[in-house]
Amino acid sequence: MSIFDKFKAMAETRHELDLLGIDPFSVQIDDILSPTEGIINGRPTILAGTNNYLGLTFDPECIAATHEALEHEGTGTTGSRMANGSYTGHRKLEQELAEFYGKRDGIVFSTGYLANLGMLSTLAGPDDMVLLDADCHASIYDGCRLGGARFLRFRHNKPDDLARRMERLGDKAKNTLIITEGLYSMLGDRAPLKEIVEIKREYGGYLLVDEAHSLGVLGERGCGLAEELGLIEDIDFLVGTFSKSLGGAGGFCVSDHAELDLIRYLSRPYIFTASPSPATIATTRQALRTLAAGTHLRKKLQENYERLHAGLSALGYTLGADPSPVIAVVFDDKLESLQFWNDLLQLGIYVNMMLPPATPNGMFLVRCSVSAAHTFEQIDTICGAFAELQVSPMKVTAMQGG
Write the pLDDT tens digit of every residue in 318-345.
999 999 999 999 999 999 999 999 999 9
The pTM (predicted TM-score) of the whole model is 0.93
Distance between CA 94 and CA 218 in Å, rounded? 21
- Looking at the structure, tell me whether residues 118 and 219 fall in a common domain: yes
Q: What is the pLDDT of residue 196?
A: 98
What was the pLDDT predicted at 14? 87
Are 193 and 132 found together in one domain? yes
- Is 289 in the same domain as 299? no
Give CA angle at 67 (92, 251), nearest 5°.
Answer: 40
Q: Do 326 and 277 share a domain, yes or no?
A: no
Query: For position 220, which CATH number holds?
Result: 3.40.640.10
pLDDT of residue 394: 30
Residue 258 burial by Cβ neighbours in a 10 Å radius (0-12, 13-18, 19+) = exposed
Indicate whether 400 pLDDT > 80: no
The catalytic residue among 110, 121, 139, 185 is 185
Per-residue confidence band for 399, with pLDDT thresholds at 50, 70 and 90: very low
For residue 390, the model assigns a pLDDT of: 87
Statement: residue 8 has pLDDT above 80:
yes
244 flagged as catalytic = yes
Q: At what angle do helices 278-293 and 60-73 cross, to 10 degrees?
A: 150
Same domain, yes or no: 160 and 223: yes
Instruction: Assess whether pLDDT exceeds 50 at residue 365.
Output: yes
> How many of the other CB atoms lie within 10 Å of CB of 256?
17
143 and 261 assigned to the same domain: yes
Kindly report the average pLDDT of the chain as a whole number. 94
Same domain assignment for residues 237 and 150: yes
Asked which of 242, 276, 293 is the last residue of a domain, the reply is: 293
Q: What is the pLDDT of residue 391?
A: 59
Q: Are 90 and 281 in contact (CB under 8 A)?
A: yes
**Residue where a domain terminates, one of 277, 293, 309:** 293
Q: pLDDT for 110-131, tens place per residue?
A: 999 999 999 999 999 999 999 9
Closest CA to 298 of 370, 211, 379, 230: 370
235 and 323 together in one domain: no
Judgement on whether residues 175 and 104 belong to the same structural domain of the protein? yes
Residue 10 pLDDT:
87
How large a percentage of the chain has pLDDT more than 70?
Answer: 97
262 and 300 housed in the same domain: no
Query: Which of 243, 269, 293 corresponds to the end of one domain?
Result: 293
State mean pLDDT over 373-380: 98
Catalytic residue from among 90, 137, 200, 244: 244
Task: Tell me, yes or no, if 213 is annotated catalytic.
Answer: yes
What gap in Å lies between CA 63 and CA 287, rounded to an integer? 10
Mind listing the pLDDT tens digit for each residue in 206-248?
999 999 999 999 999 999 999 999 999 999 999 999 999 999 9
Q: Which of 90, 103, 137, 213 is catalytic?
A: 213
Query: pLDDT tens digit string along 165-220?
Result: 999 999 999 999 999 999 999 999 999 999 999 999 999 999 999 999 999 999 99
Range of the domain at 340: 5-53+295-399
Residue 99: how many other CB atoms lie within 10 Å: 14
Domain of 37, CATH number, reads 3.90.1150.10
Residues 385 and 307 both lie in one domain: yes
- Is there a catalytic annotation at residue 214? no
Each residue's pLDDT tens digit, 129-170: 999 999 999 999 999 999 999 999 999 999 999 999 999 999
pLDDT of 260 reads: 97
**What's the total number of domains in the chain?**
2
Question: Closest Cα partner for 292 from 42, 100, 46?
Answer: 100
Domain check: are 319 and 338 in the same one?
A: yes
- Whether 228 and 238 have beta carbons less than 8 Å apart is answered as no
